[in-house]
Amino acid sequence: MDLWRHSEAGRFHRGISLAVAFIAGLILAAEATRNHGPLELAVLGAMLAVVVPTAWHLHSAFRTTPANFPIPKAPSPDPTPGDSLRSGYRKSKEAQLRRVYGACP
């Protein structure tokens, strides 16, 4: 299984979070132009002051993780003769048992 950071799913989630932050900024800006009370503008301005740096950070993180970037290679265990015919969960479980307990019956 790929690490979350090193997969397309990670890039997708970064894009979704950036879109949500952008929509939050748009809503706050629209409400600031619509409501002109000093207290309302102070609250909306404070929230906008939090959303803008967050969106800026999300944008830089999205920009610096390009699509299809290489996945770091994990060290592979030494193959045993019986492992070439097996695959999936059982293969890894049996290989782990061999490393811990020696040869399995």
What is the DSSP code string of 6-34? GSHHHHHHHHHHHHHHHHHHHHHHHHHHH
Neighbours of 98 (CB within 10 A): 16
Entry pTM: 0.56
pLDDT tens digits along 49-87: 999 999 999 998 888 876 665 555 666 665 555 555 555
| Predicted pLDDT at 64 | 82
pLDDT at 28: 93
Yes or no: say if 95 and 41 are a contact pair by the CB < 8 Å rule: no
Residue 35 in contact with residue 104, Cβ under 8 Å? no
Give percent above pLDDT 90 in the chain. 35
**How confident is residue 7, by pLDDT bands cut at 50, 70 and 90?**
low
Residue 25 has pLDDT above 90, yes or no: yes
Q: Based on C-alpha coordinates, what's the Rg of the chain? A: 25
| Domain boundaries, given as residue ranges, for the chain | 4-63, 75-105
- Output the pLDDT for position 8: 75
CB atoms inside a 10 Å sphere around CB 44: 20
Query: Measured in Å, how far apart are the chain's first and last C-alpha atoms?
Result: 29
For the chain, what is the mean pLDDT?
76
